[in-house]
Structure 1
Amino acid sequence: MTDSLQSVLFLLAAAVLVVVVFRAIKLPPLLGYLVLGVVIGPRALGLMPDTPQSHALGEFGVVFLMFSIGLEFSLPKLVAMRRIVFGLGALQVGITVAVGVLLLPLALPIDWRGGLLLGGVLAMSSTAIVVKMLADRIELDTAHGRQIIGVLLFQDLAVVPLLILVPALAHHAGSLVVTLGFAMAKAALVLSVLLVFGQRPMRAWFNLVAKRYSSELFILNVLLGLFFVTVGMQLDLRAVVANFGWVLLALAGLMAFKAALIAGLARIFGNSLGAGLRIGLDLAHVGEFAFVLLAQPGATGIIPAQLMQPVLAAMLLSMLAAPFVIEYSERIVRRTVGAEWLNRAMELHQIAVKSMGFDGHVVICGYGRCGQNLGRMLDEESIQYFALDLDMARIHDAAAAGDAVVYGDGGRREVLIAAGVMRARALVITFHDAQAALRVLEQIRALRPDLPVVVRTLDDTHIERLEAAGASEVVAEVMEGSLMLASHALMLLGVPVRRVLRRVQATRASRYHVLRDVFQGNVLHDGEAQERPSARLHAVYIVQGAPCIGRTLGELALGELGAEVSAIRRHGLKSLSPAADTVIEQGDVVVLFGPDDTIGAAEIRLLQGWRARTGLAKALNRERPA
């Protein structure tokens, strides 16, 4: 008992460390668990013995993994995607298994049972890796992204009958037919329970656990991790090194075969060659459920031990390669498919044509509810906007209603250029995905470092990163929601409305650079006859030879012109809090705030010198009302 407890504690500590490292290098933790098992296993460093107790813990992980399959499926979703799931997905799995049964026994020392098992193994791809990568690349809602998800749905669904069939394949030939018949009946029953009867109670239980922030979620993840650690422990590095040539051949063969098969099937289902190749490359690897199949009790009796090691090694290497293949799939497609350049050029041409009449407009990245509300407000102020979104259904409905929205990824340089970002007055990122927003900011920093960018986020977690990446303002939903809650609560408690507004305005003024000047002074007066002069943000890029270089903001005295320095971005890496002793450097982006006339005077002082504007500054001061 003591040895088992010590082994589990050591395994947990090592797993936590590996997860931290793999998250830091932006790789899925699942790969970390597999690598950890290889390193500490009995066939490598020998720090963790291969005992029945460790396998028993791993089997609990398989149980929870199968529960998660049931939670992910829903009959309405399967019906809605039936053409992709039961068409493209079913053909991919079926053909791969058929190739395994018919061809692999001719090349490997296995019979048709081993071919069926290896065919099922090769048919699987990693849902965890692919979904994460597509989400990071904002491709889940693209045409090829939806088809990839459809194929993954069927692969996960096919795991259930395969798990039941593998132990049955180990029986003797005399009873094999009867055993397989019972296995298929059990598979059909289990699928029915998972899809029809099991979803509501299990989903309700998991939701309850999540809402309670219960430790059961941690235990679930730990058990899943322990399973993959035990799988990694099965890999013998010495056997892999001895057969490294065969391992590389198996790796290249399985990824090339899957990519070609899926790309060809995608073409049959009406996709372009470029889209089909993207789908094939993203699904070319072997997934986590393949390890689950090979870990079944009957698998070792079907596949010889000398073949199992190269197979495990090729599978593990394919999963390690998957994030990199997916990351560079776009470049691979562009280099290999000549027509893909033409298709991309046509898409960009359509965006450029639609944005051609826009000048001094606002580019909106994301046209969900937030983007649509912003668009309506801009319309009411007669300010042009041009929106980019990735949801084709939303784009179709919005475009039919007359909104200026097109299909495009704001994280791509060429799309932003086609949307007229070089002529835009501002850019607003309305989705709350911080990683996607950082991709957009990276492109803006290279194209238009002077362009004001407003970013939406859920909370304060990513504010500093977004501001450092070049965001002029970051609006946190939690902040605005708390202000509205406080406003209503104070008014219900009898606090005068003007005092509530003053407190809200003061809080916003301290949080947002843009609003500091707006709320200087007292509360807004009801029935104001005249509004204050319209103020706006304007960014000035400090070019080589500008007379302001080497001088401090105090020396430049831009405040006497009526312009406020809201922020200074240096080398696009961080936002400086402007102070009187801040020295201007070449390449800085000085963000000014104020009315148009004072901003113009301040820009000329920065770029041409303050002496040339002394007369104009005095004139502006005389004309400015007291």
Structure 2
Amino acid sequence: MELTLFSEILLLLAISVGLVAIFRRLKLAPILAYLVAGIIVGPSLFNFLSEAKEISFVGELGIVFLLFSLGLEFSFPRLIAMRQLVFGVGLVQVVVTLLIILLVCFVSGYNWQSALVVACALALSSTAIVIKQLTENGKLQSKRGQLAVSILLFQDLAVVPMLIVIPIIAGASQVNLASSLLMALLNGALVFVLLISVGKWLLPRLFNEIAQARSDELFVLTTILVALLTGAITHLFGLSMALGAFLAGMMLGESQYKHQLEADIRPFRDILMGLFFISVGMQLDIAILAQSLHWLILFVAIVLAIKLLIIQMIARCFKQSKADAWAAGIMLCQMGEFGFVIAALALEQGLISKHLASMLVGVGVISMAITPYLINHSSRFAQFLAKQTEEQEQDATESQTEQLQEHVVICGFGRVGQIVSRFLKLESIPYVALDVDPTRVQEAKAAYEPVHFGDSRKVEVLKAVGIEKAKLVIIAFDDLNKSLTVIDLVKKYAANAKILVRTGNDDNLEALIEAGADEVIPETLEGSLMLVSHVMLHSGVPVKRIFGRVRRERKNHYNGLHGFYRGDSYKQDEREVEYLHAVTLTDNAFAVGLHLNELDLPLRGVEVTALRRDGKEYYNPEPDMELQPQDVLIILGVPRRVERAERFLFEGA
């Protein structure tokens, strides 16, 4: 039995890995790969798994971790700043879509429970795919991007009551339905108050102690324990485990551990969510879909059309431009990943038939598969539908990349890469940067920096930023193997480009030069040279002699700096470092209409280093500049002060 289970898991992993790799190449969402894997191993095709129930149970934990991650992203300042769109367009979109789909289902002969499930599943859009595509295209901070994000934010909030209501309507008779819902509401309020009151003072202190221990394993285990424990508490009160995980994530979303928590939970979340979607795919009956393929295609077309028209009309009612309204509708007309969650839960509770569940999953698969194409071409479709051929969405980074000639490519946009970029910008030297940190790329793109997410060791990524036309390539990360790979690729595809490599010390200097680097800058030794230069200058040594000594040292590959006494190495406590953060002011932000000097931001421990308005960037803006909607402020400070300053800009004191 154990060998059979092991073999089944091994087979499932092999199929999943192969399909995810193929779907990645096709630029399709991994969710679709897991669904297809479930179809292959499920009873519809080969029926490989004898322990399907156990896999489904483990996969359901993925929903808990998904809601925990969603709670981490839930930001009260962001919600308040975007309240007009979130509780305006977002709320009306969900309500109107629910009512219209309910009406269509009633006319089609479904009972009210099944109709409600279908309406809930189809009212939601895919947060994961839409946000990913908008981020990669650099359109997340555009007006239509923010409109789409606002709608998605309310949809994500609406998921929680939907997951609570479905088990209740399944277990309650029509007579005591109202009392069951009232009891669930009271239990929910009690759990909310309990978890919020305990979590506000207990969880931050707990993670402070865990962080002091400096143990990665302990931090990860505590994160998992908190997510599951809060889920268990809500389950004891007869509510969804996902609700407890969401509340725990929401409480920790305002802490300084937010990004570390998200990074720690992501591998478990992704793996378990993969198992969940495999279990959903196993429930899909291919025979049913084959017999009803024409109805499925018609169903998909109707759903896309209904959601597109609803979002467009609601956005227009809230005074959004025609093009932005159409674009938001095109981006959000698909069924989302939470639709699969709702369909699986409803099937488990007996609210919908297997035929209807298969149809819902089929609609989700097809609509999500075409979503990247729809988003990539949303501007063109929106302009056509709005009959505004002259209107073009601003996409500064894309146009810059297409027009780059004789530019600089920066591989790695960490602290060193950002310092280099600032000096290049001051001299009006065109550049483009690559980095694999999604948060950093998103922050930089919000400030309209020409930064793209991608691994510089991949030929396709380098070609996308015009490596053939580059005059200089700067490798700003300190990793020998990665640097050698990038050097090799640059030599193949941009033989005339100069290559500068940053490294920590000169241990690998010869290897990098032999590989083809034109110049290697050892960071530690260069810092020592600069210090020595200042010492000699203050000691009265002529500047010419100082420059001569430094030049000779570099020419001799820093040999004169070798040979020193080493002490016991130790690690100092890391101090909080200042970082840059871009803040886009909304129409209702507190700071709109005020002058910079009226905000007294320096007293709050932050500094405004730049302001971007209408495509122009103002460095060290004048204190008397009056702030306007859609202004992008680049603020500098330590994390906690930056977060407080952002909240102040949106809400005031």
TM-score bracket, shorter-length normalisation? 0.5 to 0.7
Q: Does residue 38 of structure 1 match 2:52? A: no
Q: Judge conservation of contact 1:125–1:285 (CA < 8 Å) in 2.
A: yes
Inter-CA distance 431–253: structure 2 relative to 1 (3 Å threshold): closer
C-alpha separation in 1, matches of 2:491 and 2:69: 38
Give the drift of 1:175.
0.8
Show the counterpart of 1:224.
273
Mapping for residues 366-385 of structure 1, pairs under 5 Å: 373=419, 377=423, 383-385=427-429
What amino acid sits opposite 2:83 in the alignment? R
Q: Does residue 344 of structure 1 match 2:392? A: yes
Q: Judge conservation of contact 2:37–2:281 (CA < 8 Å) in 1.
A: yes
C-alpha separation in 1, matches of 2:42 and 2:76: 41
Show the counterpart of 2:219.
208
Show the counterpart of 2:344.
295
C-alpha separation in 2, matches of 1:280 and 1:146: 13
Structure 2-normalised TM-score? Answer: 0.59
Show the counterpart of 1:17.
18
Gap runs ≥5 in structure 1: 353-358, 390-397, 399-404, 411-429, 487-502, 518-522, 533-626
Give the drift of 1:73.
1.7
Secondary structure at 2:350 match in 1: helix
C-alpha separation in 1, matches of 2:357 and 2:168: 19
C-alpha separation in 1, matches of 2:38 and 2:65: 20
Mapping for residues 426-437 of structure 1, pairs under 5 Å: 433-434=454-455
Mapping for residues 394-473 of structure 1, pairs under 5 Å: 433-434=454-455, 442=463, 445=466, 450-454=469-473, 458=477, 460=482, 463=486, 470=494, 472=497
Residues 291-325 of structure 1: CA deviation (Å, up to 9, x unaligned): 11112257653323443322221122212222232
Show the counterpart of 1:64.
65
Inter-CA distance 220–97: structure 2 relative to 1 (3 Å threshold): same
Q: Judge conservation of contact 2:409–2:474 (CA < 8 Å) in 1.
A: no
Secondary structure at 2:390 match in 1: helix
Q: Does residue 95 of structure 1 match 2:96? A: yes
Show the counterpart of 1:156.
156
Inter-CA distance 346–93: structure 2 relative to 1 (3 Å threshold): closer
Q: Judge conservation of contact 2:312–2:328 (CA < 8 Å) in 1.
A: yes
What amino acid sits opposite 1:452 in the alignment? K
Q: Judge conservation of contact 1:166–1:298 (CA < 8 Å) in 2.
A: no
C-alpha separation in 2, matches of 1:169 and 1:366: 52
C-alpha separation in 1, matches of 2:191 and 2:147: 26
Q: Quick check: which has more Rg, 1 or 2?
A: 1
Give the drift of 1:220.
3.9
Inter-CA distance 468–234: structure 2 relative to 1 (3 Å threshold): farther
Give the drift of 1:342.
1.1
C-alpha separation in 2, matches of 1:526 and 1:8: 70
What amino acid sits opposite 1:168 in the alignment? I
Answer with 127-136 or 180-189: which moved more: 180-189
What amino acid sits opposite 2:27 in the alignment? K
Q: Judge conservation of contact 1:473–1:512 (CA < 8 Å) in 2.
A: no
Show the counterpart of 1:615.
none
C-alpha separation in 1, matches of 2:266 and 2:307: 34
Inter-CA distance 90–387: structure 2 relative to 1 (3 Å threshold): farther
Q: Provide the aligned length of Structure 1 versus Structure 2.
A: 461
C-alpha separation in 1, matches of 2:352 and 2:262: 43
What amino acid sits opposite 1:342 in the alignment? E
Show the counterpart of 2:86.
85
Show the counterpart of 1:134.
134
Q: Give the structure, 1 or 2, with the largest relative contact order (CA under 8 Å, sep 6 or more).
A: 2
Q: Judge conservation of contact 1:88–1:265 (CA < 8 Å) in 2.
A: yes
Q: Judge conservation of contact 1:75–1:196 (CA < 8 Å) in 2.
A: no
Residues 15-59 of structure 1: CA deviation (Å, up to 9, x unaligned): 233333333333222211111111211122222247432332222
Identical aligned pairs, as a percentage?
Answer: 30
Residues 277-303 of structure 1: CA deviation (Å, up to 9, x unaligned): 222222211111111111225765332
What amino acid sits opposite 1:526 in the alignment? R
Structure 1-normalised TM-score? Answer: 0.61
Give the drift of 1:236.
0.6
Answer with 325-334 or 191-200: which moved more: 191-200
- Which of these residues, 482, 506, 526, is aligned with residue 545 of structure 2? 526
C-alpha separation in 1, matches of 2:363 and 2:115: 16
Give the drift of 1:276.
2.3
What amino acid sits opposite 2:38 in the alignment? G
What amino acid sits opposite 2:14 in the alignment? A
C-alpha separation in 2, matches of 1:147 and 1:431: 22
C-alpha separation in 1, matches of 2:312 and 2:94: 14
C-alpha separation in 2, matches of 1:166 and 1:255: 24
Show the counterpart of 2:55.
54
What amino acid sits opposite 2:360 in the alignment? V
Answer with 136-145 or 449-458: which moved more: 449-458
Secondary structure at 2:165 match in 1: helix
Give the drift of 1:515.
3.7
C-alpha separation in 1, matches of 2:518 and 2:48: 58
Q: Judge conservation of contact 1:101–1:113 (CA < 8 Å) in 2.
A: no
Q: Judge conservation of contact 1:259–1:281 (CA < 8 Å) in 2.
A: yes
C-alpha separation in 2, matches of 1:81 and 1:166: 29
Give the drift of 1:328.
3.1
Inter-CA distance 75–135: structure 2 relative to 1 (3 Å threshold): same
Q: RMSD of the TM alignment (CA)? A: 4.8
Q: Judge conservation of contact 1:38–1:235 (CA < 8 Å) in 2.
A: yes
Show the counterpart of 1:604.
none
Secondary structure at 1:286 match in 2: coil
Q: Does residue 320 of structure 1 match 2:369? A: yes
Inter-CA distance 438–70: structure 2 relative to 1 (3 Å threshold): same
C-alpha separation in 2, matches of 1:118 and 1:50: 29
Inter-CA distance 432–51: structure 2 relative to 1 (3 Å threshold): closer
Inter-CA distance 377–221: structure 2 relative to 1 (3 Å threshold): closer
Show the counterpart of 2:295.
246
What amino acid sits opposite 1:100 in the alignment? I
Secondary structure at 1:174 match in 2: coil
Inter-CA distance 219–123: structure 2 relative to 1 (3 Å threshold): same
What amino acid sits opposite 2:13 in the alignment? L
Gap runs ≥5 in structure 2: 211-215, 224-259, 434-443, 522-528, 534-543, 552-653
Residues 507-542 of structure 1: CA deviation (Å, up to 9, x unaligned): 88667755489xxxxx9973458999xxxxxxxxxx
Residues 139-178 of structure 1: CA deviation (Å, up to 9, x unaligned): 2233322332222222222111111100111221111111
What amino acid sits opposite 1:105 in the alignment? F
Show the counterpart of 1:497.
none
Q: Judge conservation of contact 1:70–1:194 (CA < 8 Å) in 2.
A: no
Show the counterpart of 1:237.
286
Q: Judge conservation of contact 1:433–1:457 (CA < 8 Å) in 2.
A: no
Inter-CA distance 164–270: structure 2 relative to 1 (3 Å threshold): same
Residues 232-290 of structure 1: CA deviation (Å, up to 9, x unaligned): 01111110011111100111111122222223333333433222222222221111111
Inter-CA distance 507–528: structure 2 relative to 1 (3 Å threshold): farther
